Chain A
């Protein structure tokens, strides 16, 4: 079973501070994704990556940066955190080829920006 691990699980940050959310996957998937989940909005795509060194903007990239330094790791960076970025963030990985295409999700990171 694919394993996607997010850290930290919970984070409290101050407005204007820098926040880094980390994600690690152990199944050699090419694609990785960052979503945020808010009541009434479902899962919204922030950034995604095709592989090491690549990042692509999702549907709501403003205020976020992403980094994919290796196949296994994908980080989401909030350079200047704002209270509107309080949310639950999910990382996912998967491949888009073949009959087994599906995403595997981490358990989420609950971020509170005060």
Chain B
């Protein structure tokens, strides 16, 4: 069985600072894929960034990067130089290597203040 856990429910930061959002996962597969998605205030859900379990390098896209700690089954999302527009709910998700099932965590609400 696969499971994704986000323990943070709400985070508040000041604009232009760096924030880390936590996520831990459980899987029996040796191969798996980890994702972060963002849900804006309008309800739109969009893909942000992805990490493949076999890659040692942390993924980076724009001002989003990942802190992949495989021994700890942890995939943190790091947002640097936060902007007001980064205020949203962030979801961590995982797909095991076999199959298409994609499960999400409960999400964490990020509020960026000026």
Looking at A88, A96, A107, the one whose CB has the most chain B CB atoms below 10 A away is: A96
A74 interface contact, C-beta 8 A: no
A91 CB → nearest B CB, Å: 11
**Chain A interface size, under 10 / 10 to 19 / 20 to 34 / 35 or more:** 20 to 34
B100 interface contact, C-beta 8 A: yes
* Complex contact A50–B107 (CB within 8 A): no
* Complex contact B100–A96 (CB within 8 A): yes
Q: Roughly how many angstroms separate A42 CA and B109 CA in the complex, as a whole number? A: 11
Q: Roughly how many angstroms separate A90 CA and B106 CA in the complex, as a whole number? A: 15
Given A33-B102, A42-B91, A45-B102, residue A102 in contact with residue B50 (CB < 8 A): yes
* Complex contact B104–A48 (CB within 8 A): no
Partner pick for B104 among A30, A45, A102, A104, CB 8 A cutoff: A45
- Measured between beta carbons, the chain B residues less than 8 angstroms from A79 are none
Query: How many B residues touch A, CB cutoff 8 Å?
Result: 21
* Complex contact A42–B105 (CB within 8 A): yes
Given A31-B100, A58-B101, A96-B95, residue A102 in contact with residue B47 (CB < 8 A): yes
* Complex contact A43–B101 (CB within 8 A): no
* Complex contact B107–A48 (CB within 8 A): no
B62 interface contact, C-beta 8 A: no
- Measured between beta carbons, the chain B residues less than 8 angstroms from A40 are 106
- Measured between beta carbons, the chain A residues less than 8 angstroms from B95 are 96
Q: Roughly how many angstroms separate A92 CA and B46 CA in the complex, as a whole number? A: 11
Partner pick for A101 among B33, B37, B43, B103, CB 8 A cutoff: B33
Q: Roughly how many angstroms separate A33 CA and B44 CA in the complex, as a whole number? A: 16
A40-90: which residues lie under 8 A (CB-CB) from chain B? Answer: 40-45, 48, 50, 56, 58-59, 88, 90
Q: Which residues of A contact B (CB under 8 A)?
A: 30-31, 33, 35, 40-45, 48, 50, 56, 58-59, 88, 90, 92, 96, 101-105, 107-108
Q: Which residues of B contact A (CB under 8 A)?
A: 6, 33, 35, 37, 43-47, 50, 91, 93, 95, 100-107
A-B pairs, top 8 by smallest CB distance, nearest first, are A42-B106, A102-B47, A43-B104, A105-B45, A42-B107, A31-B100, A96-B100, A42-B104
